[in-house]
Amino acid sequence: MQQISVVSYEAKYQRAFDSLNRAWIEKYFRIEPADEYLLQHPEETVIKKGGAILIALHESSAVGVVGLRKINETEYELIKMAVSEEQRGKKIGEILCKAILEEAAKLGAHKVILYSNTSLLPALSLYRKLGFIEVPLEPDNDYMRSDIKMELLIDNSARSYRNDEFPRQEQNAVF
């Protein structure tokens, strides 16, 4: 078992945000113009626009990242989720997804959407496990690699994503 903590983005994590995402994108696809700017400027493109980025740490090293981009007052997009190659298969992606959905609820999201690719079976399996459903993909989305769109409706009456088994952000979890 390893101890994973989930913390909010700080500028010192920009390099990890960039490199972790760049690694998986380049392994399966190619970096697109929309990726390039976002990876190099996450504070400007995500944080300052009302979104959030969370970092999974193991022994103070960033081993996973995920972002939440604000679309409008009630809709957010789950973006740039990546886990280091060495740490895959240890539920870090699930930890990050649950934490970012909790963050979305706190921010007032009623819906979280995401774009992915049908070749990324483990990711799609995780999203379905968390309650995301497939919805029609618009032809003019930001990424050429996207061939699937999913969404999750959030019950904001409780102001949280239903997530009883996961410790709240900024706390440690042992998995």
Q: Does residue 4 carry a pLDDT above 50?
A: yes
Phi and psi for 99 in degrees, rounded to 5?
-65, -40
Mean per-residue pLDDT, 137-161: 80
Q: So what's the pLDDT on residue 143? A: 79
Q: What is the pLDDT of residue 141?
A: 75
164: domain CATH number is 3.40.630.30
Q: Are 76 and 32 in contact (CB under 8 A)?
A: no
Q: What pLDDT, in 10s, does the model give residues 18-55?
A: 999 999 999 999 999 889 999 999 999 999 999 999 99
Range of the domain at 28: 3-174
Residue 66 has pLDDT above 90, yes or no: yes
**111, 151 Cβ separation under 8 angstroms:** yes
User: What pTM was estimated for this model as a whole?
Assistant: 0.87
Phi-psi category of residue 147: left, alpha or beta, with phi > 0 → left and psi -120 to 50 → alpha: alpha
**Average pLDDT rounded to a whole number, residues 4-26:** 96
User: How many structural domains compose the chain?
Assistant: 1
Would you state the structure tokens that stand for residue 101, as one six-digit string? 């959905």
Q: Residue 128: how many CA atoms within 13 Å on its side-chain side?
A: 10
